[in-house]
Amino acid sequence: MIRFEHVAFNVPDARAAARWYCDNLGFSIVRQQGEPPYMSFIADSGRNFMFEFYSRDDAAYFDPNGMHDVTTHVAMHTDDIDADRAQLIAAGATASGEITTNPAGDKLCFMRDPHGVILQLCQRKVRML
């Protein structure tokens, strides 16, 4: 059986990226390397989803500049999109537009974390998973 394990991003400061997700989104460090490229595997609170952040100078860093939010993003469920959006902005995320409601009644918004990763917060009228 094959199942999802992680999504990886090469960013200039992998340890800072991992710390930001732990401090602000409830992720926890699963495995972290103390020397370059500072691979940091972090998991969500339910241990259903994992990111890997690393800093490799011999490869291009993730750069979403000029990329539209819907081109690629990481979507995260929230029960309170207004409060969570405000908290993440206070923690250094950048809003990309306002909260919208789609025809299904879901509240959605896009933002970028301090390291450039495009996030979408989703407050679903009917939970998907």
For residue 68, is it within any domain? no
For residue 18, is it within any domain? yes
pTM: 0.91
For residue 22, is it within any domain? yes
Q: pLDDT tens digits for 72-90?
A: 999 999 999 999 999 999 9
pLDDT of residue 32: 97
Can you tell me the distance from the alpha carbon of 26 to that of 42, in angstroms, rounded to the nearest whole number? Answer: 10
Q: Label residue 3 by pLDDT band (50, 70, 90).
A: confident
Q: How is 59-112 classified by DSSP, letter by letter?
A: SPPP--TT--TTTS-EEEE-S-HHHHHHHHHHTT-EEEEEEEE-TTS-EEEEEE
CA 117 to the chain's CA centroid: 6
CATH assignment at residue 89: 3.10.180.10
Q: Label residue 128 by pLDDT band (50, 70, 90).
A: confident
Q: Are residues 50 and 79 in the same domain?
A: no
SS3 36: coil
The parent domain of residue 118 ranges over 74-123
Q: Are residues 81 and 118 in the same domain?
A: yes
Average pLDDT over residues 94-102: 97
What's the total number of domains in the chain? 2
Contact predicate 51/7, CB 8 Å = yes
Q: pLDDT tens digits for 35-73?
A: 999 999 999 999 988 999 999 999 999 999 999 999 999
For residue 112, is it within any domain? yes
